[in-house]
């Protein structure tokens, strides 16, 4: 083989390798999910574009979350599709109105999502679910989902940290600063625990406690941000 041909093969191989690497970058669009005759369920969530396994895994996880959030029977072993659960929710509301025609109560579900952070290593998506089925107040739940940007697999919270116990000790003062002026409203401020929702954002690592997680309903959501330049040494995946 002549030197020129050999050089051409090397360059061609590098081009292919670079192309494969670039193809792993995931872009997102917004998708609205509904069904015919649906008037009370509004869903707008990100959609990972393309047919790569990364995009497929991310979209499956997002749809699983939405379907679960809509499911009336949370203890059911099988989660229905989003569309079936939308129809079920509308049917339940119709049954309610037929049984209590004098009631002025309107039911609704609003689920919105946004991509909070995206890097070659991690993609963080926030999903906000608000459900009102006639109680004293609706239920608002915010969920952070962290994905491995190279595989599309969900990253568990414990996988975020080099040492979860050390990170907990490190994060405790940030929590105390956040609640300093309303400390008496919280259930247990002596035994600090990490929240269920931890996600990456452009401002840093967000730690968020939903309503009822550590305080009564009136306290609302509690969240605070730790800048990446302070948190990175504790993380398996660095932020910007």
Residue 17 has pLDDT above 50, yes or no: no
pTM higher than 0.85 for the full model? yes
> What pLDDT does 207 receive?
98
Spatial neighbors of 217 by CB under 8 A, at least 6 apart, are 137, 211
Point out which residues pair with 176 in neighbouring strands.
Answer: none
- Check if the beta carbon of residue 48 is closer than 8 Å to that of residue 28: yes
Percent of the chain predicted with pLDDT > 70: 90
> What pLDDT does 7 receive?
53
> What pLDDT does 95 receive?
94
Structure-model confidence comparison of residues 182 and 8, the more confident one: 182
> What pLDDT does 190 receive?
85
Average pLDDT over residues 95-100: 94
Report residue 175 CA to chain centroid gap.
21
Structure-model confidence comparison of residues 16 and 233, the more confident one: 233
What domains, with CATH codes, occur in the chain?
A: 24-155 (3.30.565.40), 157-240 (3.90.640.20)
Model confidence band, residue 24 (pLDDT cutoffs 50, 70, 90): low
Model confidence band, residue 21 (pLDDT cutoffs 50, 70, 90): very low
How do 41-48 and 108-118 pair as beta strands?
parallel
Considering the chain, what is the average pLDDT of its residues?
A: 90
- Check if the beta carbon of residue 171 is closer than 8 Å to that of residue 230: no
> What pLDDT does 77 receive?
77
- Check if the beta carbon of residue 62 is closer than 8 Å to that of residue 127: yes
Average pLDDT over residues 159-173: 97
> What pLDDT does 201 receive?
97
Residue 165 has pLDDT above 60, yes or no: yes
Model confidence band, residue 3 (pLDDT cutoffs 50, 70, 90): low
Average pLDDT over residues 28-38: 96
CA 109 to CA 76: how far, in whole Å?
A: 20
Residue 167 has pLDDT above 50, yes or no: yes
For tokens 């609302």, name the residue: 220
By mean pLDDT, which of 12-16, 113-117, 179-183 is the weakest? Answer: 12-16
């Amino acid at each position: 083989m002549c030197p020129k041909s050999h050089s051409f093969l090397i360059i061609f191989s590098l081009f292919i390798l670079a192309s494969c690497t670039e193809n792993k970058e995931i872009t997102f669009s917004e998708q609205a999910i509904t069904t015919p005759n649906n008037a009370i369920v509004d869903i707008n969530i990100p959609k990972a574009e393309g047919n790569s396994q990364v995009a497929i895994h991310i979209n499956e996880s997002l749809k699983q979350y939405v379907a679960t959030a809509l499911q009336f029977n949370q203890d059911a072993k099988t989660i229905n599709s989003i569309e079936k659960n939308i129809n079920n929710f509308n049917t339940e509301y119709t049954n309610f109105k037929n049984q209590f025609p004098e009631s002025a109560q309107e039911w609704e579900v609003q689920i919105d999502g946004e991509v909070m952070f995206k890097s070659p290593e991690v993609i963080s998506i926030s999903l906000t679910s608000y459900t009102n089925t006639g109680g004293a107040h609706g239920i608002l739940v915010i969920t952070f989902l962290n994905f491995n940007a190279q595989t599309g697999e969900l990253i568990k919270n414990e996988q975020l940290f080099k040492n979860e116990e050390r990170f907990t000790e490190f994060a405790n003062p940030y929590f105390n600063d956040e609640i300093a002026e309303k400390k008496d409203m919280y259930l247990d401020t002596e035994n600090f625990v990490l929240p269920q929702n931890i996600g990456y954002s452009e401002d840093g690592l967000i730690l968020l406690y939903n309503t009822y997680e550590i305080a009564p309903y009136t306290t609302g959501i509690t969240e605070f941000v730790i800048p990446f330049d302070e948190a990175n040494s504790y993380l398996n995946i660095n932020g910007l």
